[in-house]
Structure 1
Amino acid sequence: MTARTTRLDAGVRTALRAAGAAAREGLGDPGLAELVQIRASQLNHCAFCLDMHLALAREDGAVTEAQLGLLNAWEEAGDDVFDARERAALELTEAVTVPTGGASRPKSGGGFVPDEVYERAAAHFDAARLAHLVALITVVNSWNRLMVARRIPPGGTAW
């Protein structure tokens, strides 16, 4: 499989970068932001974004190796690996990324984020931070889809 040569419009790239930066800043938790972006990228099978966000998480040191290693099985990992706030954010990430009740949950029908998932997240984030979390999940999903659609490999040139 080779990378497709379709270039990403500079305006689109600039807008997505700005939206992502605003969402990360508003969330105010760099480690959680990386966990969310990595989990969405796992669900979307985006090797480019996975590679990038894993490197950033390790570089920043805000995420533990245990979290990185167990992220794909966060529900089964102990509370000593992911706290309740992180679990709520990851559950919301799955529900927004795969809007059928989440990747590992039974389909709830309708394709919406279930109210109980949103409410669990709202118990850990004020309204502004929750809005930024949802925005961050949405932005990383957009990046994932752009990279997957163009078959950009890890370490590849995306622009």
Structure 2
Amino acid sequence: MTQTLTTAPRLRIYKSSPELYDAMMALSTASSKDVDAELAELIKIRASQINRCAFCLDMHTRDARKHGVTEQKLDTLAAWAEAGDIFDERERAALALTEAITLLGHDGVPDDVYERAAAAFTDRELGQVIAMAVTINAWNRINAAVRTAPPRR
């Protein structure tokens, strides 16, 4: 039995449930505090790549460019672990943690991934990075469920 998938939008969820949008925006604002804008966009893009959220990828790659993320980083982000020194240690730690949170399995976030991030960030920053990864995953899942598509330009 095969499934047929379409890309037609399903529900304009933010119109039908505006309080959801408001709550998600509040969570996004809270998770963004004290996180470098470039790093924040890398986190959002990487989770959105894994979750295949075209709407979020479109938005956050544009935002990343505005915040000065290089084309080389954007071009290699999907393979950041193999990209040599293109990404610094804080970015690599945040991306590893983002992937572990996004692909969360029965064993949770591996100790080595968490410890790497804990060594790279203050407790405050680590909490914000975790919250940012959780928040973009929530946005991705909402948009995937209702098939929010990026606008054509």
TM over 0.5: yes
Following TM superposition, the consecutive aligned residue runs of length 4 or more in structure 1 with deviations greater than 3 angstroms are none
Corresponding residue to 2:126 among 110, 127, 130? 130
Counterpart in the other structure of 2:66: 59
> 2:82 aligns to what SS in structure 1?
coil
In terms of fraction of residues, the more helix-rich structure is 2
Amino acid at match of 1:146: I
What CA RMSD, in Å, does the superposition of the two structures yield over aligned residues? 1.2
| Correspondence for 1:105 | none
3-state DSSP class of the match of 1:26? coil
Deviation at 1:11, TM superposition (A): 1.1
Residue 91 in 1 paired to residue 96 in 2?
A: yes
Tell me how far apart the structure 1 counterparts of residues 88 and 100 of structure 2 sit (CA, whole Å): 18
Gaps of 5+ in 1: 101-109
What's the TM-score once normalised by structure 2's chain length? 0.90
Which of 32, 38, 47 aligns to 2:39? It is 32
Secondary structure, aligned partner of 2:44 = helix
Residue 151 of structure 1, CA deviation: 0.7
SS in 2 for 1:85: helix
The aligned amino acid for 2:47 is: A
TM-score by length of 1: 0.87
> What is the match of residue 103 of structure 1?
none
- How far did residue 118 of structure 1 move? 0.4
After superposition, the C-alpha distances for 1:37-92 in whole angstroms (9 at most, x for unaligned) are 0000000000000000001111222x11100000000011011x101110000000
Q: Show the counterpart of 1:107.
A: none
Aligned pairs, number: 144
Paired residue for 1:23, among 28, 31, 37? 31
Q: Give the match for residue 145 of structure 2.
A: 149
Gaps of 5+ in 2: 1-6
Paired-residue identity, %: 49
Alignment correspondent of 2:3: none
Match of 2:22 among 11, 14, 18: 14
